[in-house]
Copies of this chain bind each other. A is one copy, B any other.
Amino acid sequence: MVADAEVLRVLIEVLDEFAALSPFHRQRLGSYQIKLSHRGLLDAILQLCGVPKDRLRPICSSIDKLDKEPWESVRKEMVEVKNLPEQCADRIGQFVTRSGQPWELVRELRADAALCSGQFGAEEALADLERLFAYLDAMGNVLNRCILNLSLARGLDYYTGLIFEAVLTDGTTPLGSIGAGGRYDKLVGDFAGKQVPCVGTSVGIERIFSLMEDAERELAQATGRVIRASKTQVLVVGIGNVDLVQRLKLCDELWRAHLAAECVYTERPKMARQLQYALDRGIPVLAILGENELASGVVGLKRLSTQEQIQVDRGSSMLQAIRDWITAENSQQIHHYGSDPEGNGRSTTDEVPTAHTGNKPTDPW
């Protein structure tokens, strides 16, 4: 059970780090609870209530619906669809509606002479849980986040011991599960031939990122900062007769200096289109190439947020000027956590996406 305890601690550490990013993140992600239970305990309870051994899994999958449906409708399914005697379903109902502080509920179950009669394996499952709780107690305040919840069944058949689910408890998020896992000691053996005991957790990263985007927007609004829709730092812009190859050459110089640069993918796009492209994505710096710049080996640099514009030699002074502006911008901007449609500023299509939702600097021209 040490590995089980470590997995729970890792899950809590990960979730707490998301919540720690700002007060807005804490508000969205800071209130959660780990519901946990044990497959062996659930099986023992079901057998005590009169469920035959070969019907444990179908009844489990009915119980699994208790987080979305009231007990009455789960009971109805057990009796009418799965042909469980009513009396049997009612006994199950007395157990699976219980949940509480882990040590306390385990103590109550230990005191249940019928459950712990040595017939159903409840003692082994409770001993597992007691060891788990002792290890969690040793790992700081991990157990404070946990609740032993006998309605937790985890529909998947492969779990063999501990099962758990992290659920948001702020009441505003309708589908609040942001992580889940458990022990699955037989799954690898079923495929690989060799038994490999396993315990693991998954984090609901899409759901968490969606909540983080909400938090980022609130944070941006509260602080007046800008959310950038792209990680690109420099848009290489061509004026007049400067073609794509010339712009790519400058991109290449910036890439070699580890600056995230891109250009619009058409041969000679209009200036207005290139500017709009930068504004839509929140790209902070333009590197501007006209025929004069090309001829004299210089580049025009424009910082969109402040309207500063300078001309520099194409080389180390260009790189330094860009880095200075990027550093200044980074202290004012928030990177977008969601999916970057440009894949780090490199795109496979030439489509201009719709404008992002953050504040935009006003048109500099």
Contact = CB atoms under 8 A, between A and B. Distances in A.
Interface of A: 2-3, 5-7, 9-10, 13, 134-135, 137-140, 196-200, 244-246, 248-249, 251-252, 255-256, 265, 346-349
A265 B348 contact: no
A134 B245 contact: yes
B248 A346 contact: no
A245 B6 contact: no
B139 A2 contact: no
Contacts of A6: 346
A256 to B, nearest CB: 7
A2 B248 contact: yes
Nearest to A5: B248
Given A138-B245, A138-B249, A197-B349, 18 more contacts: A3-B347, A3-B349, A9-B252, A10-B346, A13-B255, A134-B245, A135-B245, A138-B246, A138-B248, A138-B252, A139-B248, A139-B251, A139-B255, A140-B252, A197-B348, A198-B348, A199-B348, A200-B348
In the A-B complex, the 8 residue pairs with the smallest Cβ-Cβ separation, listed nearest first, are: A138-B248, A139-B252, A138-B245, A3-B348, A2-B265, A138-B249, A6-B346, A140-B252
Residue from A140, A244, A248, A256 whose CB has the most chain B CB atoms within 10 Å: A248
A251 to B, nearest CB: 8
A199 B198 CA distance: 38
19 contacts: A2-B248, A3-B346, A7-B348, A9-B252, A10-B346, A135-B245, A137-B245, A138-B248, A138-B249, A138-B252, A139-B248, A139-B251, A139-B255, A140-B252, A140-B256, A196-B349, A197-B348, A198-B348, A199-B348
Copies of this chain, tallied across the complex: 2
Contacts of A198: 348
Nearest to A256: B140
A305 B217 CA distance: 50
Contacts of A7: 348
A298 to B, nearest CB: 19
A228 to B, nearest CB: 20
B3 A265 contact: yes
B200 A135 contact: no
A346 B140 CA distance: 17
B135 A248 contact: yes
A185 to B, nearest CB: 10
A7 B255 CA distance: 13
A128 to B, nearest CB: 14
Nearest to A244: B2
Nearest to A263: B2
Nearest to A249: B138
A302 to B, nearest CB: 23
A7 B252 CA distance: 13
A265 B2 CA distance: 7
A265 B10 CA distance: 17
